[in-house]
């Protein structure tokens, strides 16, 4: 795509009608506006894009009335309670790839967290979305982090293409989240790894990152008995058992030095927001005439959702703590006099563990049958067709993309796909099996993502050079995990709305809030932010559309809403 389009960037001729906050009077002597295009007169000086990993629209609705901190502030802005990560493969990497590119995975190329590429040199053929698999012959567990698989530019990159002195910064609890929101051309990018924050290979970490790591080390060494239970969490404080694991009553006690427990607790998000604040100062974000972009992805909600489910005391404590940590972050920006605009969303939704769902009025919730795993499918189809079953079908689990072993002849491949489809569609947990040929023949969907068919949802995840030979979609209520273990009792990733639907909240000081319940998409965020700062792009630049953030007759979308 279309880096050439950048040559066509023009000045936005319109004026934002959002109330202008008292800003920047205490700026140091403002740098001169560079020659060329200028930002919109009322453009926020800092665009902050926050993703809360696994923050479903359902969780936002459930907890909205309890928020008093940062999330309450954002809920007073422009609220889109039915945002959609509209594609079928609702995983972290694809979800983050849509937020600041304005494009669906079919165009970002990030079809999943992992895909199979049988042409890679190393033994393991699974490729991680945020690795450079050419740099190491090691396993996917020992990779070099890279944004190289992202096929399109991010908002921060588009802004830097027009205003080269603008800063593009990203920080997250996960490498793939920071990299997919930040993009290729980035000034600072940090993510949590092991016991502290790291950056790209070959880049010297900034002093502020080392300071943050020292603060985390002190916190880790001290340990902590855990969090008090907020009063409104009491009804959820009840044990439920999944396999060998019991969840529901946790308080996030931290044994000294236990970095794994630190990561799956509210402490991780607070550390990410503290580092973000340090980077605002170190990079002087929001203090120049042209807009800066700060992307933040907060991962603890996802680790907690996977480890404890969505409906226990753990998630309740987490969302209270996250609300508080975001409030402190915004207060720190306010104290610095920075004029910032915020969008907050999620990379995907989430679903509770089936053992608790079954108790709570959803008896059809269940775990996927092990017969759906690729090894079991390979055995059945291999025996039927007289093919070697070893690695006949390659897949990450019981659903999603499936690849066929590359040594098959075209006739063998066609027979194996047909046999797999017959086999799988006879399994009671399978909703659909859709082939790559069928997806390639399906137009990219338009209209409300709420009413897309399953094949349309899968089409939004389909990028032919990387996608599988077919896609397996499980029935609603069937989670892809075949079992439960420590840290992993529940998940997301399905084509169903509990995993697709996320909140989208825009906020800026002084703006008039409104609520728009009709479905919108996360690919609408980038065009909305681009217009907010006066970055004018050709109308076909994005898969999404500009959302007008002005509650009245004015528009933040300029000439092409």
Chain positions contacting Zn ion, by CB under 5 A:
53, 92, 302, 347
CA quadruple 223, 228, 232, 236: dihedral sign: positive
**Cβ nearer to Zn ion, comparing 91 with 423:** 91
Q: Is 92 a catalytic residue?
A: yes
Longest Cα–Cα distance in the chain: 76
Residue nearest to Zn ion (CB): 92
Catalytic residue among 68, 90, 92, 301: 92
**Cβ nearer to Zn ion, comparing 302 with 524:** 302
Is residue 299 within 8 Å of residue 52, measured between CB atoms?
A: no
**Residue 7: in which H helix or E strand, if any?**
none
Strands 292-298 and 520-521: unpaired
CB of 490 to Zn ion, least distance (A): 13
d(C-alpha 100, C-alpha 515), whole Å: 22
Give the residue among 326, 342, 350, 343 at the shortest CA–CA distance from 523: 343
Dihedrals phi, psi of 271, to nearest 5 degrees = -65, -40
Q: In the structure encoding, which two tokens stand for residue 168, read together?
A: 């593009």
**Cβ nearer to Zn ion, comparing 345 with 378:** 345
How many helices (H) and strands (E) the chain has is answered by: 18, 22
Q: In the structure encoding, which two tokens stand for residue 415, read together?
A: 């027979």
**Cβ nearer to Zn ion, comparing 292 with 302:** 302
**Cβ nearer to Zn ion, comparing 301 with 378:** 301
**Cβ nearer to Zn ion, comparing 208 with 460:** 460
CB of 183 to Zn ion, least distance (A): 18
CB of 112 to Zn ion, least distance (A): 12
Q: What angle do CA 459, 463, 467 make, to 5 degrees?
A: 95
CB of 310 to Zn ion, least distance (A): 13
CB of 555 to Zn ion, least distance (A): 33
CB of 373 to Zn ion, least distance (A): 22
String of DSSP letters for 85-144: --SS---HHHHHHHHTT---HHHH---SSEEE-TT-SSS--EEETTB-TTS-SS-TTS--
Which residues are tagged catalytic? Answer: 92
């Amino acid at each position: 795509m279309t880096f050439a389009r950048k040559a066509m960037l023009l000045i936005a001729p319109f004026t934002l009608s959002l109330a202008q906050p008292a800003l920047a009077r205490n700026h140091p002597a403002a740098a001169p506006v560079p020659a060329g295009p200028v930002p919109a007169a009322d453009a926020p000086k800092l665009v902050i894009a926050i993703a809360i990993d696994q923050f479903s629209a359902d969780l936002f609705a459930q907890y909205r009335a309890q928020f008093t901190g940062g999330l309450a502030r954002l809920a007073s802005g422009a609220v889109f309670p039915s945002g959609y990560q509209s594609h079928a493969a609702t995983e972290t990497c694809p979800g983050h790839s849509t937020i600041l590119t304005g494009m669906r995975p079919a165009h970002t190329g990030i079809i999943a967290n992992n895909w199979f590429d049988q042409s890679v040199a190393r033994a393991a053929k699974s490729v991680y979305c945020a690795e450079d698999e050419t740099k190491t012959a090691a396993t996917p567990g020992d990779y070099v982090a890279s944004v190289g698989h992202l096929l399109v530019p991010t908002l921060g990159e588009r802004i830097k293409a027009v205003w080269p002195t603008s800063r593009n910064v990203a920080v997250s609890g996960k490498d793939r989240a920071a990299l997919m929101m930040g993009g290729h051309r980035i000034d600072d990018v940090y993510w949590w790894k092991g016991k502290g924050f790291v950056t790209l290979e070959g880049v010297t970490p900034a002093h502020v990152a080392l300071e943050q790591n020292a603060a985390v080390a002190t916190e880790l060494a001290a340990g902590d008995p855990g969090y008090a239970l907020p009063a409104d969490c009491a009804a959820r404080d009840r044990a439920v058992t999944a396999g060998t694991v019991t969840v529901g009553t946790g308080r996030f006690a931290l044994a000294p030095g236990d970095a794994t427990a630190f990561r799956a607790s509210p402490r991780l998000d607070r550390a990410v927001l503290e580092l973000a604040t340090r980077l605002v100062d170190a990079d002087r974000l929001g203090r120049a005439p042209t807009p800066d972009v700060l992307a933040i992805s907060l991962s603890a909600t996802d680790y907690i959702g996977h480890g404890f489910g969505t409906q226990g005391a753990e998630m309740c404590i987490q969302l209270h703590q996250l609300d508080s940590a975001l409030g402190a972050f915004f207060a720190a920006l306010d104290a610095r006099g920075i004029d910032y605009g915020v969008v907050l969303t999620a990379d995907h939704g989430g679903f509770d563990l089936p053992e608790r769902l079954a108790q709570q009025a959803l008896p059809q919730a269940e775990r996927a049958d092990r017969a759906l795993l690729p090894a079991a499918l390979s055995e059945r189809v291999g025996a039927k067709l007289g093919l070697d079953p070893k690695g006949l079908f390659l897949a990450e689990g019981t659903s999603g993309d499936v690849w066929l072993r590359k040594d098959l002849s075209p006739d063998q491949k066609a027979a194996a796909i047909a046999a797999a489809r017959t086999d799988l569609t006879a399994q009671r947990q399978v909703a659909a099996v859709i082939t790559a040929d069928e997806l390639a023949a399906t137009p990219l969907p338009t209209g409300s993502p709420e009413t897309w068919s399953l094949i349309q949802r899968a089409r939004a995840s389909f990028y032919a050079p990387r996608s599988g030979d077919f896609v397996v979609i499980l029935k609603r209520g069937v989670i892809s995990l075949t079992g439960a273990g420590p840290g992993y009792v529940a998940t997301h990733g399905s084509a169903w709305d509990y995993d697709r639907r996320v909140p989208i909240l825009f906020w800026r000081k002084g703006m008039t809030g409104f609520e728009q319940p009709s479905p919108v998409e996360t690919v609408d965020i980038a065009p909305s932010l681009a217009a907010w700062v006066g970055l004018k792009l050709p109308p076909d630049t994005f898969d999404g559309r500009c959302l007008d953030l002005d509650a009245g007759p004015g528009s933040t979308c300029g000439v092409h809403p």
